[in-house]
């Protein structure tokens, strides 16, 4: 089934130094860009993360410090990459919880302005888990009837994710071939920041989604607890989360 697209859809996968969105870095990114007319183009970047790749991560994806020592840093490719995905919706496997938040962090660190909040996010893993409860390799075998060769390489996982989404649309008539529908269906929470530390409640108010103030409006907490904002900025939170708190705080100043 050909995807019904209004905007180009970029399927992508990251290989990283680890799974901490704040501290870890990208070592490889691969994407397949699918256009509304069905045309496809892809690219893979190998990236020097500027930090040692832990042995346990190398075991997972096979990329060593030696492999990336002469590769560009993310900052060096960031503007080109931003241009390549400009105006595109994004799709991946577990991408809403990991790949998109980490990619957003890398762009912020590189000081490249790219507004992901205007994009639709299709998380194929979420669709799969809601329908069948499996892993990518199992999803590929279940939906596409093929073994996933070279699993945990960014290119193989990216192409498999693209094939799985098309097969999911073929298999489940209740899934609409529409990116807005799929983005909503594959979302776990109505996140304000990519890490889900702040979410919208049923009334569209930004509320804190962790810690002692969980469930309370951000603006209310910032007004009542003068030290909370400083704690957020000085804490081990993603840059994107800090940016959201700053925007809400500034909005409060401007409304006075």
- Render pLDDT for 149-192 as a digit per residue (tens, 0 to 9): 888 899 999 999 999 999 999 999 999 999 999 998 887 668 89
Beta bridge partners of 45: 29
pLDDT band of residue 84 (cuts 50, 70, 90) is very high
Helix (H) / strand (E) element for 190: namely none
All domains in the chain, ordered by first residue: 9-185 (3.30.420.10), 198-254 (no CATH)
Say whether pLDDT at 33 is over 60. Answer: yes
147 burial type by CB count under 10 A (0-12 exposed, 13-18 middle, 19+ buried): exposed
Stretch 196-213: mean pLDDT: 93
Q: Which two tokens stand for residue 140?
A: 């590929």
Q: Which two tokens stand for residue 61?
A: 């994806």
Cβ atoms of residues 245 and 200 within 8 Å = no
Question: pTM for the complete prediction?
Answer: 0.69
Percent of the chain with pLDDT over 90: 81
Cβ atoms of residues 200 and 209 within 8 Å = no
Q: Closest Cα to residue 91, out of 82, 99, 102, 83?
A: 99
Please give the pLDDT value at position 130. 84
Cα–Cα–Cα angle for 151, 10, 166, rounded to 5 degrees? 70
Range name among 83-92, 123-132, 239-248 with the lowest pLDDT average = 123-132
d(CA 79, CA 93) in angstroms, rounded, equals: 24
Please give the pLDDT value at position 99. 94
Please tell me what DSSP assigns to residue 118.
G
């Amino acid at each position: 089934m050909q995807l019904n697209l209004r905007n180009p859809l970029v399927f992508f996968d990251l290989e990283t130094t680890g799974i901490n969105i704040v501290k870890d870095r990208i070592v490889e990114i691969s994407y397949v860009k699918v256009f509304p007319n069905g045309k496809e183009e892809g690219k893979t970047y190998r990236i020097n993360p500027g930090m040692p790749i832990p042995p346990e991560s190398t075991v997972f994806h096979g990329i060593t410090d030696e492999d990336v020592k002469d590769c560009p840093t993310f900052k060096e490719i960031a503007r080109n990459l931003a241009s390549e995905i400009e105006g595109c919706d994004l799709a991946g496997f577990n991408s809403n919880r990991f790949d998109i938040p980490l990619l957003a962090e890398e762009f912020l660190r590189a000081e490249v302005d790219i507004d992901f909040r205007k994009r639709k996010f299709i998380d194929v893993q979420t669709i799969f888990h809601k329908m069948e409860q499996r892993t990518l390799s199992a999803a590929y075998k279940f939906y596409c009837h093929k073994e996933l060769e070279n699993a945990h390489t960014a290119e193989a996982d990216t192409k498999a994710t693209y094939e799985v989404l098309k097969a999911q649309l073929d298999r489940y008539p209740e899934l609409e071939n529409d990116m807005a529908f799929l983005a909503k269906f594959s979302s776990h929470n109505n996140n304000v920041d990519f890490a889900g530390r702040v979410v919208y409640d049923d009334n569209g108010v930004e509320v804190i989604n962790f810690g002692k103030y969980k469930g309370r409006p951000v603006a209310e907490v910032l007004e009542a607890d003068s030290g909370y904002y400083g704690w957020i900025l000085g804490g081990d939170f993603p840059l994107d989360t800090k940016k959201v708190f700053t925007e809400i705080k500034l909005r409060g100043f401007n409304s006075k």
